[in-house]
Amino acid sequence: MASASYTEDLTCSICLMIFTDPVILLCGHSFCRECATLSLSSQRQCPQCRAAVPKEGTCLLTNHNLKSLAEKEAEKLQKGHGKDTEGADWLCPEHEEKLKLFCVTDQQLACIICRDGERHEGHKFKPIKEAAAPVRRELETFVQHVSDDICALESLASTQKEEITKTKTKSQQLMTQICRQFEEMHQFLRKREDEIKNDLKHREEDAVEKMSETLHTMETALSESRELEGRVTSALEIKDPERFLKCWSEENNRKTPEHLFRPRADELQVVNTTLCLGPYESHLQFFVWKEMLQVIQPRAELLSLKSDSRNITVSDDGKHLMYSPEIIQSSLSLSLRCKYCGHSPTRPREDTSERYASAFSSSEFTSGQHYWEIEVGKKDYWKIGVKNNYLIYNNQKYVTSKQNKKLTFTGRPQKIGIYLNCQSKELSFYDAENMTHIHTMTEGCMSVPVAAYFEYKFSRGADHYPLKVCCY
């Protein structure tokens, strides 16, 4: 109790805190210097006893003894709150008794009086040291877990940084690869452009040379005819017959006009050489694109098909998958009957029932990235992709093999492009006619090696639209 009273004596009655630089008034009461200054600035009387404070008492004197005691008490309280080992010396704020117990039920410190009070009736208590031991062990374990988690997070963060670096490096490599490949195509296009332009220039030069030769011949004939015309006209201007005949005969060595003049207009013709570049004039882009296919690397996979189905025939080059209808015997009655036994003979017919047939590529993919194209034509049902992972088209609807999910793609392409990335295990489908993306499957369960897979339905005796692998 003495300790609590002692603390109250060192408390400022204005701010209710331990004195800070205490001063004493004429009435004998002490306050913090800041508190006294603020109070006296509004009213000239002691905040505690209301005794008047004259103006000459404005000079506040420091209470050195009180200041020393207050500083020591403040230091003691600060040390008490800063050390866990001195927790037993703390006082109960309600009963001002030492906190020696720990209420397990309320998880708080308590004194002896608190333990016997109504608020803690029926609660479980432990001595502070005994209660602190398991909490300490629990916190030590917790700290260890936190430390382990920090190590794991640091490792993850380091790995993530490495992945970011790898991604940036990969992006830069791909950027370089893209620039190089486009530059190769640009070089090819510039080269073909120069070659086609040079060919056109040579054709132009040849045509102009031929027409220039013809023009030179025409101009020579024209000059000769004009010269002859001038000579004849000059001779005709002579009126005297004797002089006219003498002049004409002497100048032309007695040649007749028929011998002097030979019509040339009927002999010469205008040379009309029409410049033509063949298909490079009308289908330049298409032909150059076809030429570019021969230098582009890599190109679509040259798959070879195989099938174990009875009614499936694979072409000799392994590119076409065709249906071979099975010939079966049918007891179809004929109009003629056997004259000996009276039975109707049988004749063979084609099996036109609806069938499904599948095929695989003869080679398997084990690594890397691959692309191939399949011409599906106008079939109303097909499955294309790889084993256990494929795209299904059935009556104008697209679904996947795994999710059985209907896709929003509504086109009807005649060719389907399939892209397989064995490393990321991604399988993508495209409209090969304009490279429109249809769908990408990211199936983690896709395992390698894996073969290309094909399936389609037959509903007629003969197959006029065989499924085939596109080649370029």
The residues with which 322 forms a beta bridge, in sequence order, are 313
pLDDT value of residue 53: 85
pLDDT value of residue 87: 46
Residue in 220, 201, 327 with CA at minimum distance from that of residue 268: 220
Domain membership of residue 79 as a residue range = 1-84
Mean pLDDT for the stretch of residues 169-176: 94
Domain end among 51, 84, 117 = 84
Task: Provide the number of structural domains found in the chain.
Answer: 2
Domain presence at residue 214: no
Who has greater pLDDT, 445 or 122? 122
Q: Is 155 helix (H, G, I), strand (E, B) or coil?
A: helix
**Which pair of tokens denotes residue 203?**
């054709």
Count Cβ atoms within 10 A of the Cβ of residue 129 and give its class: 0-12 exposed, 13-18 middle, 19 or more buried.
exposed
The answer to pTM > 0.75 is no
Domain end among 84, 111, 128 = 84
Q: What is the CATH number of the domain that holds 43?
A: 3.30.40.10
Domain presence at residue 430: yes
Contact between 9 and 29 (Cβ < 8 Å): no
On the question of pLDDT at 339 being above 80, the answer is no
Q: Which of the residue ranges 75-84, 99-108, 151-160, 267-276 would you say has the lowest mean pLDDT? A: 75-84
CA atoms within a 13 Å half-sphere pointing along the CA-CB vector of 267: 8
pLDDT value of residue 179: 94
**Which pair of tokens denotes residue 453?**
């897979």
Domain presence at residue 22: yes
Residue in 201, 206, 207, 200 with CA at minimum distance from that of residue 284: 200
On the question of pLDDT at 433 being above 90, the answer is no
**Which pair of tokens denotes residue 26?**
């004429």
On the question of pLDDT at 222 being above 60, the answer is yes
**Which pair of tokens denotes residue 145?**
């877990």
**What is the distance between the alpha carbons of residues 400 and 440, in angstroms, rounded to a whole number?**
10
Mean pLDDT for the stretch of residues 111-138: 87
pLDDT value of residue 356: 76
User: How far, rounded to the nearest angstrom, does the alpha carbon of residue 396 sit from its chain's CA centroid?
Assistant: 28
Domain presence at residue 221: no
pLDDT value of residue 332: 39
pLDDT value of residue 95: 83
Domain presence at residue 316: yes
